[in-house]
Amino acid sequence: MKRFFFWNKTEKDEAAAKGRDLADASGLITGDPKVDDASLRILLDSIAEVTSSMDLDEVLQAIVAKSLAVTQAERAIVLLGSDPEQMQIRIARDRDGTALEGDLQFSRSIVRRAIEEDQAVRSVVQSDREALELGRSVYDLKLRAVMCAPMKSKDRRVGVIYVDSRGARREFSSRDLALFGALSQQLAIAVENARLYADSLAKVALEKDVEFAERIQRHMLAPVPQRHDGFEFALHYSASGKTSGDTYDFLPLRSGKVAILIGDVSGHGIGPALLSHAAQAAVRSYLEVLDDMGEVIVRLNNRLTASVEAGNFMSMLLVELDGRAARFRYVNAGHPELVVVRKDRVESFGKTGMVMGVVSDQPYATGGPVPIEPGDVLFLYTDGVVEARNAEGQLFGVERLHRLLADLRTLPCSDILARVEDATRAHAGTKGQEDDVTMIATRFLGEAGAAAGR
């Protein structure tokens, strides 16, 4: 990315309804609006903490503090390792935030149970006999409530997070357990990302670091569905160097719709690559609990503004496709336009907010719904496409792109992207690719396409 894309809002939006239709089975919803809002806020803030920092100590302290806050436990302990008998205490705090040191006792039987069952577990101790059954440490410490959740990144166990309390009236609820389990999943992502990053820096020279980061980034790239909900998809993704500050994702939503994400972090190298992946992971997590795309981008912007260095920023375009209703909605945070190629014209849909990471508490409007017809093609891209320069310094440009897309409309999506790539490379000539390039093409197939994909 080479330029800022700013947007000035002319009037305030109506307050958008917040999508908080979490499944009742999750245990997070209690029916009490204040309690449920607090649960959601803690979970979303924790996700943002995890996905925006590579400082393991900072993340661990934040998650421990939030675990204590939501459970009202007296102690919180994070143990790292894959073997329950060999796990080491990484951080321990009491309710006041004081670090706990020395030979700490805790219920190892609860830790083993959480690992064996591969899920968050809790136990309420009603008697000394039950305490002894949970372990001598529970009896000696006079614990009355214990909870533990495993931390796993993909199939790799990285540790557990554990809380306990001696309060006779404090029992961990199903809501506590559900929220605790959700926090543990996000903490596992942070631990694993920090481990991979630290290993790359410690074991190889700078060039090897870059190659390792490239492998990590390639491994984490989202798969591209061929068809979904009556849409055909294709992707072109190429970095100007070893790693890319571009990101993308294809996200099936709880509603049955599908969201497309494309984003671009300023600069090149390992830092932008890590930040782009962290932002993509944050959006994926947010969309699991929020239906309002504008709210998703507001939260991501606030986190980036608080965490990234001055001068760095990110653009993003998030599009929600609704094949059954034949329409789409979108949020554009300072990103190049969304192009829709129809039978008789080419339309563009521009920014609904400014780039992220510059000014906090910015509103981001949701555009649409915009109707589409079978055969229409949606084209998303990063600025490396239109800013490709030839030897004379001339840009490929938006107008040239629109004319090309109009001519290519009837081709399969993969062929459209291949032809655009050929055209930009031919335009650049000997200058070659100077910026990361990501393109997504999706064609609406209509009801026949949806039926064929089922």
Q: Does the pLDDT at position 157 exceed 70?
A: yes
Give residue 10's pLDDT band: very low, low, confident or very high (50, 70, 90): very low
Q: Does the pLDDT at position 414 exceed 90?
A: yes
Cα–chain-centroid distance for residue 260?
13
Q: How far is CA 323 from CA 173, 208, 439, in A?
A: 40, 44, 21
For residues 381-408, give the mean pLDDT. Answer: 92
Q: Does the pLDDT at position 208 exceed 90?
A: no
- Three-state DSSP string of 54-98: CCHHHHHHHHHHHHHHHHCCCEEEEEECCCCCCCEEEEEEECCCC
Residue 90: half-sphere exposure toward Cβ, Cα within 13 Å: 21
Q: Record the tokens describing residue 374, joined without a space.
A: 């079978």
For residues 211-215, give the mean pLDDT. Answer: 56
For residues 84-98, give the mean pLDDT. Answer: 88
The reported pLDDT for the residue numbered 14 is 37
Contacts of residue 89, defined as CB under 8 A and 6 or more positions apart, other chains included, come to 77, 78, 79, 104
| Alpha helix segments (H runs only) across 385-454 | 398-408, 413-428, 447-453
Fold observed for domain 31-198 = Beta-Lactamase (3.30.450)
End-to-end, the C-alpha distance of the chain in Å comes to 38
Q: How many helices (H) and strands (E) does the chain have?
A: 12, 16
CA–CA dist 176, 168 (Å, integer) = 17
Is residue 399 classed exposed, middle or buried when 0-12, 13-18 and 19+ CB atoms within 10 A define those classes? exposed
Helix (H) or strand (E) holding 171: none
Give residue 298's pLDDT band: very low, low, confident or very high (50, 70, 90): very high
Task: Say which residue, 44 or 133, is predicted with more confidence.
Answer: 44
Cis peptide before 369 (omega within 30 of 0): yes
CA–CA dist 111, 13 (Å, integer) = 48
Q: Does the pLDDT at position 197 exceed 50?
A: yes
Q: Does the pLDDT at position 77 exceed 70?
A: yes
Task: Say which residue, 44 or 234, is predicted with more confidence.
Answer: 234
Top mean-pLDDT range of 3-7, 197-201, 254-258, 273-277: 254-258
Task: Say which residue, 67 or 47, is predicted with more confidence.
Answer: 67
The reported pLDDT for the residue numbered 210 is 54
The reported pLDDT for the residue numbered 13 is 39
pLDDT averaged over every residue in the chain: 79
CA–CA dist 123, 149 (Å, integer) = 12
Range in 91-105, 204-218, 380-394 with the lowest mean pLDDT: 204-218
Q: Does the pLDDT at position 19 exceed 60?
A: no
Other beta carbons within 10 Å of 390: 14
Task: Say which residue, 124 or 362, is predicted with more confidence.
Answer: 362
Q: Does the pLDDT at position 121 exceed 80?
A: yes
Residue 229: half-sphere exposure toward Cβ, Cα within 13 Å: 21
If you search the block for the tokens 């009837």, which residue do you land on? Answer: 410
Q: Which of 353, 285, 297 is nearest to 12 (CA)?
A: 353
Give residue 342's pLDDT band: very low, low, confident or very high (50, 70, 90): very high
Q: Does the pLDDT at position 440 exceed 60?
A: yes
Range in 50-64, 172-186, 233-247 with the lowest mean pLDDT: 50-64
pLDDT tens, residue by residue, 263-289: 988 876 666 777 787 888 888 888 888
CA–CA dist 289, 296 (Å, integer) = 10
CA–CA dist 286, 292 (Å, integer) = 10
pTM of the model: 0.57
Q: Does the pLDDT at position 203 exceed 60?
A: no
**Helix, strand, or coil (residue 50):** helix
Give residue 405's pLDDT band: very low, low, confident or very high (50, 70, 90): very high
Q: Does the pLDDT at position 15 exceed 50?
A: no
Asked if 128 contacts 139 with a C-beta cutoff of 8 angstroms, the reply is yes
For residues 373-384, give the mean pLDDT. Answer: 95
Range in 37-41, 125-129, 155-159 with the lowest mean pLDDT: 125-129
CA–CA dist 125, 102 (Å, integer) = 25
The reported pLDDT for the residue numbered 194 is 73
DSSP structure class, residue 169: T
- Residue 12 dihedral angles phi and psi, to the nearest 5°: -75, 145
Q: Does the pLDDT at position 447 exceed 70?
A: no
Give residue 444's pLDDT band: very low, low, confident or very high (50, 70, 90): very high
Q: Does the pLDDT at position 303 exceed 80?
A: yes
Percentage of the residues of the chain whose pLDDT score is greater than 90: 31
Count of residues in the chain: 454
Other beta carbons within 10 Å of 179: 26
Q: Does the pLDDT at position 138 exceed 90?
A: no
Q: How far is CA 354 from CA 16, 196, 211, 376, 379, in A?
A: 18, 32, 33, 27, 20
CATH of domain 222-453: 3.60.40.10
Give residue 51's pLDDT band: very low, low, confident or very high (50, 70, 90): low
The reported pLDDT for the residue numbered 326 is 95
Domain-by-domain residue ranges, the chain? Answer: 31-198, 222-453
For residues 142-166, give the mean pLDDT. Answer: 83
Q: Does the pLDDT at position 415 exceed 90?
A: yes
pLDDT tens, residue by residue, 235-249: 998 876 666 678 899
Range in 70-79, 132-141, 375-384 with the lowest mean pLDDT: 132-141
The reported pLDDT for the residue numbered 400 is 94
For residues 193-214, give the mean pLDDT. Answer: 60
